[in-house]
Amino acid sequence: MTAMTRPVMSSVSEPTLYVAFELGASEWTLAMTAGLSMAPWLRKVRVGDFSTLRRVLTQGRAQYGLPTGAPAVSCYEAGRDGFWIHRALEAQGIRNRVVDSASIEVNRRQRRAKTDRLDALKLVLMLVRACSGERRVWREVHVPPVAAEAARHVSRERTDLIRERTRLRNQIGSWLATAGCRRPGRLGARWWTTVRDWAGARLPREVQARLARAQARLELLATQLAELAAIEQEAVTTAATDSALGRLVRLKGVAARGAGVLLGEGLSWRHFQNRRQVGGLLGFTPVPYRSGDQAQDQGIDHAGNSRWRAVSIQLAWGWVRWQPSSGLTQWYRRQFGGRGARARRIGIVALARKLMIALWRWACQGVVPEGAILKVA
């Protein structure tokens, strides 16, 4: 689960119960405290047992002498369980934070003890520090709306299906290569029965049967991909002209597929405040190394959304082709046009970052990219 991270500040002027959840498959380990100077209190709760959770929180308030109605602030690490726990805790009146696991500081020794108990104890103390105003304790995940989280399944499923299709095609090529033959350029009905091996003989019956089953899976994948393409096209057809999707697909070089990935992964619902936040989610941020006399560039961090990065590179190449008069294309050609293929590949990453910022401003603020061509309705 990948999401934009940002710190969230809150007041600690009132007595508060701080709760950290270490999530497990069958039970949750809870660590509670009322401040950094108080020893945390540990309890275990079955997964989804919110009636027991409410009782444990009441006991926790009594343990630290807090008022019965004292607010509770909780946190847990983002992971396999997604955001349903966050929504359930918010419904219980608990102010919850979802923490980016990669942002949590760890001991750098080669071997360190790791248990649910130790993780929960550490997490609850970090929660107190974060609520006390310490800004760089961790990064918090931006929880998407339910509708937005459901909508992005379309683009993600399509990515998975394409990967599966590529895997099957490569496997078929490998099976044929072991017999000294190749996959025909044009595939007719039952094409595997016409293939000849290196000696001119038909493929063994078992190999033909396996190829037949693989071809059936490929045909099923093609059907499912066509269904997803129809869903994406229907979304474009029904989108309002001034909506984020309606604006994106009006740009020449941006189709329904690329726009769907951008919006599904949060171009609009993440509510970016500036271009740095857009670049942070994209993950094309340089990572310098400066220590004493050593100084080197470690490349880009790849810490953002991988789907965004992939589609941004595709859109950047398409932008250079379909928007030759735009300011971004002119900048790219001035900086990298005559410096060879390697320079152009490096430059397309810089263009992708600039393009994503321009597309965000156009989709969410209505600012047309400089010199961009809009499609004729």
Phi first, then psi: what are they for 230, rounded to 5°?
-65, -40
Token readout for 205 is 């019956």
The per-residue pLDDT for 13 is 59
Question: CATH code at 58?
Answer: 3.30.420
How buried is 364 (Cβ within 10 angstroms: 0-12 exposed, 13-18 middle, 19+ buried)? Answer: middle
The C-alpha atoms of residue 235 and residue 122 are separated, in whole angstroms, by: 45
- What pLDDT sits at residue 300? 75
The residue to which tokens 């900086």 are assigned: 335
* Domain end position, chosen among 87, 122, 143: 143
Predicted structure pTM score: 0.81
Question: Residue 377: its pLDDT value, please?
Answer: 63
Walking along the chain (377 residues) 10 residues at a time, the average pLDDT comes out as: 46 79 93 91 93 94 91 93 93 93 82 87 93 88 89 91 96 93 83 89 92 95 95 89 90 90 87 85 81 80 82 93 93 88 90 93 91 83
Residue 281: what residue type?
A: L
CB 226 within 8 A of CB 337: no
Distance in angstroms (rounded) separating the CA atoms of residues 4 and 123: 20
Looking at the fold, whether 202 and 290 belong to one and the same domain comes out as no
Of 249, 267, 261, 373, whose CA–CA distance to 322 is shortest? 373
Regarding whether 308 and 293 lie in a shared domain, the answer is yes
Note whether 29 and 163 are within 8 A (CB). Answer: no
Domain that holds residue 225: 149-238
Domain count within the chain:
3
Please, are residues 64 and 57 in contact by the beta-carbon 8 Å criterion? no
Looking at 99, 126, 143, which one is the last position of a domain? 143
pLDDT at residue 323, as a whole number: 93
The two structure tokens encoding residue 255 = 């189709």
Q: Give all strands (DSSP E) within 101-194, no chain letters.
A: none
Asked if 120 contacts 30 with a C-beta cutoff of 8 angstroms, the reply is yes
Residues 158 and 186 grouped into a single domain: yes
CB-neighbour burial class of residue 61 (10 A; exposed 0-12, middle 13-18, buried 19+): buried
Residue 1's nearest CA partner among 211, 216, 153 is 153
For residue 138, is it within any domain?
yes
Spatial separation of the C-alpha atoms in residues 83 and 143, rounded to whole Å:
7
